[in-house]
Amino acid sequence: MADDATSPLTGASLIKDLVRRLPDAPGVYRMFGEAGEALYVGKAASLKKRVTQYAQGRLHTQRIALMVDLTRAMEFTTTRTETDALLLEINLIKQLKPRFNVLLRDDKSFPEIVIAREHPAAQLRKHRGAHSIKGDYFGPFASAWAVNRTLNTLQKAFLLRSCSDAVYESRTRPCLLHQIRRCSAPCTGLISLDDYRVLVGQAEAFLRGKSRMVMGRMSADMQAASDDLEFERAARLRDRIRALSSIAQETQINAETLDEADVFALHAEGGQACVQVFFFRAGQNWGNRAYFPRVDRSDEAPEIMAAFLGQFYDDRPIAKLILVNVEPADGELMREALSLKAGRRIEILMPRRGEKRRLIDHALSNAREALGRKMAESSAQSKLLGQLCEAFGLEGAPERIEVYDNSHISGTNAVGGMVVAGPDGFQKNQYRKFNIKSTELTPGDDYGMMREVLRRRFARLAKEEEAGENPPRPDLVLLDGGAGQLAAAQEIMADLGVDDIPVVGVAKGPDRDAGLERFFLPGKAAFMLEPRSPMLYYLQRLRDEAHRFAIGTHRTRRAMDMRKNPLDEIEAIGPGRKRALLHAFGSARGVSRASVEDLAKVEGLSASLAQRIHDYFRKA
């Protein structure tokens, strides 16, 4: 049951009026402010009793008192149990991102390794996202670096292919990976599919924690090869064993007694917090990552840990064992909720001694160091933003800076890039790319491209604001360019009614020399900053990041165009027929040279389709 309540009353008076109609039942409540923004989401074993506390002012900190005072509406949802209420609360916090809740800000998915089995010769590769591919998944790995390191080792040890199925089918001779002993080349028959499946089975066993068994068998095979005087084969097995041993040597800390565990260590200081997360699978450390959830000085460590765990596992697989340095608030309820979500028993332990305690201490040490670095960076960042405010005449230090740049080669594959920065550094989940769509632009018209990018960005902003939404609005816009780019931006933003947003053009120095940049502001003469000032270095970093992002996006688009196969353009040529043609002729160029008679011999091609393919490659 859901109840949506709005009233001319505000704050504590509003809450007091609503309490009379609330049930003594578990559920979730939401508080909203003047503009409809979410202030807080909470759960309760009894909605009536919990919300009554807000009306009566019980145990209110200054922060909670402010939250109550800002409340203009509330919504309520009753649930069957308090566990259901906790799961719903977690989901709503991640969805609404309320101002007064502890909030996990980085919810990017983790990379995994997949042994894809959609092809007779299984493929080993990195994967991120839903498990939509038929195969076996192993993870999570904390970072792309951790998964790439493991993939590199597995390629050396098990010689499994990483190429796509299309590339596999088109190979006529072994690739470079085979030459450097990282692939057994099943594509060209240098290894039989039965022997290749043995390698796949060994890789799977290793990833499932049976590393000693796999290495033991390899050692026995190496000794047997040596006894039979097959020294080259023995040397290859020796290299594979060394590759597997390197995983343990490269990892700082392992936990051989843990089959599957996630380790969380929280350190809070000065109104900020860091949670260091380590992943252990099959007795191996699969990396770690530091998180900096949004917290308040009044938040207690158990509350932060509970909120973090709930949001962290909202859309991720849950480990069988969770080790923490702080017992989460409502710990038993959290255990029950995670077990219900995972469909199996989940343990949350706060170890006092032994190997598990050593893992916690190691993670906590990392959390302290990460938070120290973060606080030092934040202090320096705040100072830089204050100087930026003074230099550009802003009303206050910018919370959101948007930087724009374009990239193209003679007008082809033109893209615009937007990067976002603020007090916490670059916000990569806010980056946006804009494929230039206008057919009326002269190739290489940088002003026209910037107009299109800004029109699309700020037309959307204006539309969302008009609809009563609260989209992210920049406090400062930086453009890669001088007076011309600035004039183009002013024209577009004035047309869209968002000309109250400050815009600055950043022109490169002569010969693109760093340190000689000129800055253009509306109605002011261009000026330069002190060549070695920290603020100039900061602005250069912003501009360079926008340039890097735009260039990278352009290269990706260009590479996609270059990889397009002419066969994709021919009607009635699907993946099956395309694979058959490439297998028969080796490449699209081979297909283009084939006669109608040779094309018609390919399985699945009729005479009329063979004629159509032949005509396609010979059209004027």
pLDDT digits (tens, 9 = 90+) for 386-433: 888 888 988 888 989 999 998 876 556 788 899 999 887 888 889 999
| pLDDT grade for 2, boundaries at 50, 70 and 90 | very low
Q: Where are the domains of the chain?
A: 2-96, 112-250, 260-372, 401-561, 566-616
Instruction: Give the lowest-confidence range in 133-137, 239-243, 383-387, 395-399.
Output: 239-243
Q: Is 540 helix (H, G, I), strand (E, B) or coil?
A: helix
- Provide the percentage of residues in the chain whose pLDDT is more than 70: 91
Fold of the domain spanning 401-561? Nucleotidyltransferase; domain 5 (3.30.420)
Task: Tell which phi-psi region holds residue 271, choosing left (phi > 0), alpha (psi between -120 and 50) or beta.
Answer: left
Tens digit of pLDDT for each residue in 318-340?
Answer: 999 999 999 999 999 999 999 99
* 22 contacts 76 by C-beta, under 8 angstroms: yes
Q: Starting from the edge strand earliest in sequence, which strands make up the sheet with 38-44, in order?
A: 2-6, 73-78, 27-32, 38-44
Residue range 566-616 forms a domain whose CATH class is: mainly alpha
List the structure tokens of 342: 């995972």
Q: How far is CA 43 from CA 48, 79, 332, 594, in A?
A: 11, 10, 15, 69
Report DSSP letters for 343-403, one per residue. TS--EEE---SHHHHHHHHHHHHHHHHHHHHHHHHHHHHHHHHHHHHHHHT-SS--S-EEE
- Provide the percentage of residues in the chain whose pLDDT is more than 90: 35
Beta-bridge partners for 73: 6, 32
Q: Is 432 helix (H, G, I), strand (E, B) or coil?
A: strand
- Cα 25 to Cα 443: distance, rounded to the nearest angstrom: 65
Residue 620 has pLDDT above 60, yes or no: no
| pLDDT grade for 247, boundaries at 50, 70 and 90 | low
pTM of the predicted structure, to 2 decimals: 0.67
Residue range 260-372 forms a domain whose CATH class is: alpha beta
Task: Report the pLDDT value the prediction gives residue 510, as an integer from 0 to 100.
Answer: 65
What is the DSSP code (8-state) at residue 24? Answer: S
One-letter amino acid of 370 = A
**Average pLDDT over the chain, rounded to whole?**
85
Architecture of domain 2-96: 3-Layer(aba) Sandwich (3.40)
* 279 contacts 254 by C-beta, under 8 angstroms: no
Tens digit of pLDDT for each residue in 51-80?
Answer: 998 888 766 778 888 999 999 999 999 999
Region 170-184: mean pLDDT is: 86
Tens digit of pLDDT for each residue in 459-518?
Answer: 999 888 887 777 889 999 999 888 888 998 999 999 998 889 999 999 886 655 566 788
Region 435-455: mean pLDDT is: 80
- Cα 377 to Cα 463: distance, rounded to the nearest angstrom: 36
3-state secondary structure 131-146: CCCCEEEECCCCCHHH
Beta-bridge partners for 555: none
Phi, psi of 61 (to 5 degrees): -85, 175
User: Would you tell me the crossing angle of helices 446-466 and 483-495 to the nearest 10 degrees?
Assistant: 30
Identical fold for domains 401-561 and 566-616, yes or no, is no
Tens digit of pLDDT for each residue in 599-609?
Answer: 888 888 888 88
List the structure tokens of 557: 């688009």
Task: Report the pLDDT value the prediction gives residue 88, as an integer from 0 to 100.
Answer: 94
- Cα 83 to Cα 316: distance, rounded to the nearest angstrom: 18
Cβ atoms < 10 Å from Cβ of 108: 9
